[in-house]
Amino acid sequence: MRAGRLPRVVCGLSPRSPLPARPPRRLATNPTKHESLASSGVVFAFTVANLAAQCGIDVRALATPDNLDGPIRASIDWDRDGPGPLPPELVIAGSFQSVGGVQANGVARLDPAAGWQPLGSGIGGAAFSLAIDANNHLLVGGAFGTAGGVPATRIARFDGVQWHPLASPPPALTDDITAMAVHGASDLIFVENGQLRSVRGAAGGGGVAAQ
**Residue 88: pLDDT band with limits 50, 70, 90:** very high
Shared domain for 192 and 150, answered yes or no, is yes
Reported as a single tens digit per residue, the pLDDT across 48-74 is 343 334 444 333 334 467 789 999 999
CATH number of the domain at 171, please. Answer: 2.120.10.30
Shared domain for 97 and 186, answered yes or no, is yes
Q: Which residues of 33-54 are buried (b: 16+ CB within 10 A; e: fewer)?
A: ebebebeebebbbbbeeeeeeb
Shared domain for 122 and 192, answered yes or no, is yes
Contacts of 112-116 with C-beta under 8 Å, sequence gap 24+, read 112/87, 116/65
Query: What secondary structure does DSSP assign to 121-175, as a single string?
Result: T-EEEEEEEEEE-TTS-EEEEEEEEEETTEE--SEEEE-SS-EEEBSSPPS---S
For residues 208 and 157, the answer to whether their CB atoms sit within 8 Å is: yes
Please report the beta strands in 40-137, taking only residues with DSSP state E, as ranges in sequence order: 42-47, 58-62, 72-78, 89-94, 98-99, 102-103, 107-111, 115-118, 123-132
% of the chain surpassing 70 pLDDT: 64
Which domain does 129 fall in, by range?
Answer: 83-199
Shared domain for 52 and 89, answered yes or no, is no
- Domain assignment present for 185: yes
User: Which residue would you say has higher pLDDT here, 199 or 14?
Assistant: 199
Shared domain for 98 and 132, answered yes or no, is yes
- How many residues does this entry show for the chain? 211
- Domain assignment present for 122: yes
pLDDT over 80 (residue 3):
no
Counting the structural domains of the chain, the total is: 2
Q: Does the predicted TM-score (pTM) go above 0.85?
A: no
